[in-house]
Structure 1
Amino acid sequence: MALATSYLVATNKLDDIFNALLSAKAPSSLTTGFLKTLGFTSSNDALYVRLFKDLGLIDSSNVPTEKYFRFLDQAESKKVIAECIEEAYSDLFALNKKANELSEADVKGKFKTLTQGTKEDNIINLMAKTFKALCDYADWTSKSSIKPPDTPETKTTKSQEPSVEVPIIAGHKKGINPSLHYNIEIHLPETRDTAVYDAIFKSLKEHLF
């Protein structure tokens, strides 16, 4: 579980910075210096670096992550950001699965509860504004089509459920019970003594009929 506590003082540049990142070559390290090369030189712009860390776009050393490279695919960018938001604010989404649809006032209330009063009201307000700005940018209509490889647990489908094969008996038709016929061959010894034959047939009658 997690709750991102980073915030922006002003969110009006959020779309511009995301678009600038999409147009630029991925940096080896995303720092305030890199943002300055993109034209974002304000001290407030430096706050984006910490926000990107909370979103999982860069690691603790400011190095772009796998999520960042997925974000660079413009067909997936806003979907990836939606995934990042859900993970970075998982505590909030645990309270409301559709937290992205909450009003700013409702988000403030939830943040106060989740931070247990450890944040001042002005910080809570900025956190809520930042969350709402991110949600407005993200695409919530569907998740990213790029998914991690399936695990054995996620591969189970109906087609893989165990099935029972019913053996088919040759000559058997639906509604008709099959019947069995036995042909027994007896090789009689050569003899003129009829008593021998009588004994054989008597034994067959007792054991087979």
Structure 2
Amino acid sequence: MADKHPYISGNGAIVQLFDQLKKSFPQVLNAEVLKKLSIAPSNESYAMNIVRFLGLIDESGKATPNSLKVFTLHDEKTFQTAFSEIIEKSYHELFSLHGSDAWMLPLEQLIPFFRQTDQSSSLVGSRQASTFKALAAYAGHGALQSAATNRPPKVMAKKVPRVAKKPDEVKTFAEKDPIFHQGKRDDRVGLTVRIEVNLPAAGDQETYDRIFKSIKENLING
């Protein structure tokens, strides 16, 4: 049995651990076995401290006769009664002070007990208290935490559907710029005017001069 009261971060691992022991108690229980079972990842040694503190295994890691008897009990109420006896024996000092009321003590009362008994830090004392509460709950004294790790729900990014433009909203290049040549716009607009002049065959030079003068004054310079 360990000298100081055990603790672990994340009490869901306690539920997972003892659920596994009830299903099948390994012939030899150690940290390597817990790793293979994916129980208390990165906290296997802390979980093993709990097992040793409760006296469930001997020095070689094999289950004690009493623990095998308890963890093979099929009826849940019978198991909880037997497991409660194991906890009371392991936490004998706590129960000698508070009796059966120790099962339901709030954390505010449990933390000072563990800190004074083991000279624990504030963090360790808090975890020792919460570990005891988790064991008590597994024995039927209080609400039992789920073995699944509580994780915040994933927030999925909401996809905004792309709305295709209606045909009448799609403008072609020609509609935007009616004046273009081979896809290139030219800001300068060219205009060519063709003028046909029928000159009289019998006209003299003076007649021709008057005609061209009139064209220049009225069409070109006008």
Query: Could you say whether these structures have the same fold, taking a TM-score greater than 0.5 normalized by the shorter chain as the test?
Result: yes
CA contact (8 A) 1:3 1:90 kept: no
The aligned counterpart of 2:52 is: 53
**In 2, Cα distance between equivalents of 1:77 and 1:32:** 25
Distance in 2, matches of 1:104 and 1:127, equals 10
Q: Any residues of structure 2 matched to 1:1-209 within 5 Å, and which?
A: 4-24=4-24, 26-40=25-39, 42-70=41-69, 71-75=71-75, 76-97=78-99, 98-115=101-118, 118-139=119-140
* Contact persistence 2:111–2:125 (CA under 8 A): yes
**Structure 1 position 5, deviation (Å):** 1.4
TM-score (norm 1): 0.59
- 8 Å contact from structure 1 (residues 3, 92) kept in 2: no
Q: Note closer, same or farther for the CA distance 1:72–1:37 as it changes in structure 2 (3 Å cut).
A: farther
CA positional deviation for 1:4: 4.7
Aligned-partner residue type, residue 80 of structure 1: A
TM-score, normalised to structure 2's length? 0.56
Contact 1:32 1:49 in 2 (8 A): yes
Contact 1:6–1:51 at 8 Å: present in 2 too? Answer: yes
Q: Which runs of 5+ in 1 are unaligned?
A: 141-209
Aligned-residue RMSD, C-alpha: 2.2
CA–CA distance in structure 2, aligned partners of residues 77 and 47 of structure 1: 24
The question of whether the paired residues in 1 share the 8 Å contact of 2:16 and 2:39 is answered with: no
Residue 63 of structure 1 aligns to which amino acid in structure 2? K
Conserved? CA contact 1:3–1:91, under 8 Å: no
**Aligned equivalents of 2:137 and 2:40: distance in 1?**
24
Partner of 1:145: none
The CA deviation at 1:51 is 0.5
* Deviation for aligned residue 1:3: 7.1
Percent of aligned positions that are identical: 27
Q: In the alignment, which residue of structure 2 is the partner of 1:161?
A: none
Compute the displacement of 1:28 (Å): 2.3
Preserved CA contact (<8 Å) 1:91 1:114 = no
What amino acid sits opposite 2:16 in the alignment?
A: D
The 2-side partners of 1:31 and 1:84 are apart by 20
Residues 137-169 of structure 1 deviation map (CA, whole Å, 9 limit, x = unaligned): 1035xxxxxxxxxxxxxxxxxxxxxxxxxxxxx
Unaligned runs of 5+ in 2: 142-222
